[in-house]
Amino acid sequence: KPGGYQTAMPQPAAAPPAYPDFPGYQPLPDDAQPTYAGMPDNYPPPPPEAYEALPNGPMPPPAPEIQLQAPRQRSPFEPYELALLKYVVRYGEHILYDYDDEETKERVVIRLAEFILTELTQDDLHFHNPLFKQMLDEAAAQCKTEGFVASRYFFAHPDATVSRLAANLMSEKYQLSKYHTKFRELEQEEDKLEPLVIRELFGFKDTYIREQIKTIQAAIKTAQQQNDMEQVFDCMKKLTQLNELKNALSKKLGERIILKM
- Other C-beta atoms closer than 10 Å to the C-beta of 236 total 13
Please give the Cα distance from 191 to 194 (Å, whole number): 9
CA angle 180, 181, 183 (to 5 degrees): 70
Q: What are phi and psi of 5, to 5 degrees?
A: -75, 110
Render each residue's pLDDT in the chain as its tens digit; 261 residues: 554 445 445 544 444 444 344 444 344 444 544 443 444 444 444 455 544 444 455 555 555 555 555 555 678 889 999 999 999 999 999 999 999 888 888 899 999 999 999 999 998 899 999 999 999 999 999 988 889 999 999 999 999 999 999 999 988 644 444 455 555 543 467 778 998 999 899 889 989 999 999 999 999 999 999 999 999 999 999 999 988 888 887 777 665 543 332
HEC secondary structure over 48-112: HHHCCCCCCCCCCCCCCCCEEECCCCCCCCHHHHHHHHHHHHHHCCCEEEEEECCCCCCEEEEEH
Name the DSSP class of 172. T
Residues 88 and 115: their CA atoms lie apart, in Å, by 10
pTM: 0.63
